[in-house]
Amino acid sequence: MKFFREKERLVIGDFLVANLQSPISNLLLVTAVFLLLTVSACQPAAVESAVPVAAAVANVAPTPTLEPALAQPIIEYSEPPPAAEMPSFSLSKPEDEVPESVGVATAVATAPPAPETATAIPSPTPPHLRYTSPDEHYWFWRPIREGETNWTDKVYPYGGTRGGTLRPHHGVEFYVPAGTEVMAVADGTIIYAGSDDGQMVGPEPNFYGNVIIIEHDARLDGQPVYTLYGHLTEPLVQEGQHVFMQQVIALSGATGVADGAHLHFEVRVGENSYNHTRNPRLWLYPFPDKGTVVGRVVNSAGELLDEVTITLSSTDGANLGHTTTTYAGNDAINSDPLWSENFAIDDVGNGGYKAVVQIGDVRVTEVIVVRPYQTTFVQLVIDPPPPTPTPTPEP
């Protein structure tokens, strides 16, 4: 190709030199040059020069075609939201979260035996409530809703006798009018709902009147845990029904041996029996900025002292004082294995206190600090003064 181009240049040069002498020659020269260039443009050399151009065109990115923006997908959840924001499922630490396979487990009292090849579903992990220690068992919400009388009666506490006028108390009281809605304190299965006239669930027939007993899904150290709701006007659930925390289960009343409208509430551990109760004050979730004081009043030999009065007085006057008595000497009144206590005071304000016990002229004081959502333990050691000897009458 290069050889032919050089030859074309020589021919054109010779022609120009020979014909530059006249106008006609000039005209013929221009025409000849034009024809020569036209013929040259049709040669294969022109094809060779077109290749780089084609390559350059191929490297140019095509103009993108704009597509309409797609709408974002709507995420739908298969599980319905909880009925209320409940602290029992707001765990204090991520490592305390319950696996999904555990959280959906349901305890059914009359469930048929599982096939041998089936994998057993583990018992639900106790859902300790927000801000509380997993080593304790603040599992239960209040059975009376917020805004009503949802604090425990302080005059007739667990293990008390109201100054010796009543039998030792196996539960706590909520003094609410008849017809007040009563709620389940935690998830569980109804194992009894109705009158205890035909089936005795207390110390005698018709003791609680209309009563409900729930076996809860969670267990304490492998033992079943029950709650009892007594003196009801009307149960609103049936045996075998599974209920959830804060679900309305009954209306309060004054049936059985009640001397007025109120709710009697018990916690039973190990067995559903009158002799296996525990102090509900150690199970009910504390109020905001409140804690619980639990303790022992013993003599120097370590023996528990029965029905002794304990008082708490605020060291700075910022909180109300509290008074309670130690448990009555009764085998059916049970201490919690965690504390081995013989008294408990709930809903105690945050701050410093003096815990005081006095028998006769002997007085013992211990200073304690109560923190929100926590249990403060105190032990008071006191030896009662010896009884005054009775003088022997002279003959």
pLDDT of 43 reads 46
Residues 278 and 318 in one domain: no
Residue 48 tokens read as 């060779």
Residue 59, in any domain of the structure: no
Contact 103, 245 (CB under 8 A): no
Angle at 213 between CA 209 and CA 216, to 5 degrees: 165
Residues 245 and 317 in one domain: no
Distance CA 194, CA 205 (A): 13
pLDDT of 351 reads 96
Residues 207 and 349 in one domain: no
Residues 279 and 146 in one domain: yes
- Measuring CA to CA, which residue among 307, 360, 366, 372 is closest to residue 159? 307
Angle at 130 between CA 124 and CA 135, to 5 degrees: 60
Tell me how long the chain is. 395
Can you say whether the dihedral through the CA atoms of 369, 370, 374, 379 is positive or negative? positive
Contact 327, 343 (CB under 8 A): yes
Residues 239 and 273 in one domain: yes
Distance CA 281, CA 138 (A): 9
Residue-range definition of the domain harbouring residue 35 = 2-45
- If you ran DSSP here, which 8-state letter would residue 335 be given? -
Residue 82, in any domain of the structure: no
Q: Which residue has the tokens 């010896």?
A: 386
Residue 116, in any domain of the structure: no
Contact 354, 312 (CB under 8 A): yes
First CA to last CA across the chain, in angstroms?
A: 162
CATH value at residue 233: 2.70.70.10
pLDDT of 389 reads 78
The reported pTM is: 0.68
Q: Divide the 395 residues of the chain into consecutive groups of 10 and give the mean pLDDT of each group.
A: 44 44 47 45 42 42 43 31 32 32 32 40 58 87 95 96 92 97 97 93 95 96 96 97 97 96 98 97 94 97 96 94 94 93 97 96 96 96 86 75
Angle at 244 between CA 216 and CA 211, to 5 degrees: 65
CATH value at residue 366: 2.60.40.10
Q: How many domains does the chain have?
A: 3
Residue 77, in any domain of the structure: no
pLDDT of 58 reads 43
